[in-house]
């Protein structure tokens, strides 16, 4: 009697310990071309392909978990996933909460506006104008620091900010240059919009490239993924994925 009970409890405990083998990866799904939701509901993009390639490299089975940008770091901390592959810049602010692998790409920030707007992208030039940005990004922090004279409008996703730029509700939008040029400027919706002149890159704010977010205690996973990034760059997998999305080098130099 006691033995069957004990066996039953053991069986339940085993079942409850859940899918320990699969690695859950948090992705966003609203940041084209890095991460976007396809018509059939699946998530595709550069981030997703890199995540899959890295999983194959370290021999883990991976499951993608779609999480809104707002809640993506909390989701990692609450173990809803084990790694964030969502074009997240490695910054000191975030390093206080989570850890990162080495970078897997790096591209500079950019501000875009209507071609006929005649706007100058300096804080003085944008005074009194409305700038849209995704909440909680490095670009949000940059605008907060320098563009106090502009109205900063915060969006939950980059897609929504782009929609409002096209609709004329905001005068300009700031985000990553690749996400803006391929995710908006080169699409039908982006006709009539251009990148404004200016160098907005500030290492303290924008960080040293984009890495994979990992919980601080998972140093082993961090090191394996960092090694896997080197490995797919060495064996040509990275180049193969890169060429599907970009006709330029998105990795930048080693740092």
Coil/strand/helix, residue 110: strand
Q: Which segment (7-15, 24-32, 72-80, 116-124) binds other proteins by CB under 8 A?
A: 72-80
Q: In the set 156, 195, 208, 227, which binds other proteins (CB under 8 A)?
A: 156
Q: Judge contact between 21 and 216, C-beta under 8 A.
A: no
Site for other proteins in 87-106 (CB under 8 A): 93-94, 97-98
Q: Stretches 24-32, 109-117, 166-174, 232-240: which one binds other proteins (CB under 8 A)?
A: 166-174
Q: Please, are residues 9 and 17 in contact by the beta-carbon 8 Å criterion?
A: no
| Residue 6 in the binding site for other proteins (CB under 8 A) | no
129 binds other proteins (CB under 8 A): no
Q: Does 163 sit near other proteins (CB under 8 A)? A: yes
Residue number, 68 or 230, with CB nearest to other proteins = 68
Nearer to other proteins, 189 or 224 (CB): 189
Do 126 and 198 contact (CB within 8 A), yes or no?
Answer: no
Q: Which of 73, 83, 90, 173 binds other proteins (CB under 8 A)?
A: 73
Q: Does residue 212 contact residue 92 with C-beta atoms inside 8 Å?
A: no
Which residue blocks in the chain are alpha helix, DSSP H?
Answer: 2-16, 46-58, 72-77, 92-95, 138-146, 158-167, 177-180, 203-206, 219-234, 237-245
User: Which residue among 153, 201, 202, 246 contacts other proteins (CB under 8 A)?
Assistant: 153
Give the count of beta carbons closer than 10 Å to the beta carbon of residue 75: 18
Distance (Å, whole) CA 221 – CA 198: 38
Binding residues for other proteins, rule: CB under 8 A, are 70-71, 73-74, 77-78, 93-94, 97-98, 132, 135-136, 140, 153-156, 160, 163-164, 167-169
């Amino acid at each position: 009697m006691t033995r069957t009970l004990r066996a039953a409890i053991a069986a339940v405990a085993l079942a409850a310990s859940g899918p320990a083998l699969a690695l859950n990866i948090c992705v966003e799904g609203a940041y084209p071309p890095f991460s976007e939701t396809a018509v059939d509901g699946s998530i595709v993009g550069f981030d997703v392909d890199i995540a899959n390639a890295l999983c194959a490299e370290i021999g883990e089975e991976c499951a993608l978990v779609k999480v809104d940008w707002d809640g993506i770091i909390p989701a990692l901390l609450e173990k809803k996933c084990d790694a964030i592959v969502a074009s997240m810049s490695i910054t000191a602010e975030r390093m206080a909460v989570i850890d990162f692998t080495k970078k897997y790409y790096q591209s500079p920030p950019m501000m875009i506006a209507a071609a006929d707007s005649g706007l100058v992208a300096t804080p003085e030039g944008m005074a009194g104008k409305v700038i849209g940005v995704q909440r909680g990004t490095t670009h949000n922090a940059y605008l907060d620091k320098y563009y106090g004279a502009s109205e900063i409008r915060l969006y939950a996703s980059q897609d929504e900010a782009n929609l409002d730029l096209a609709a004329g509700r905001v005068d300009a939008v700031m985000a990553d240059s690749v996400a803006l040029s391929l995710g908006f400027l080169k699409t039908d919706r982006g006709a009539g919009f251009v990148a404004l002149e200016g160098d907005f890159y500030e290492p303290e704010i924008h960080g040293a490239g984009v890495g994979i977010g990992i919980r601080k205690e998972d140093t082993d996973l961090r090191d394996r993924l960092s090694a896997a990034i080197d490995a797919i760059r060495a064996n040509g997998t990275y180049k193969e994925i890169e060429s599907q999305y970009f006709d330029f080098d998105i990795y930048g130099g080693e740092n």
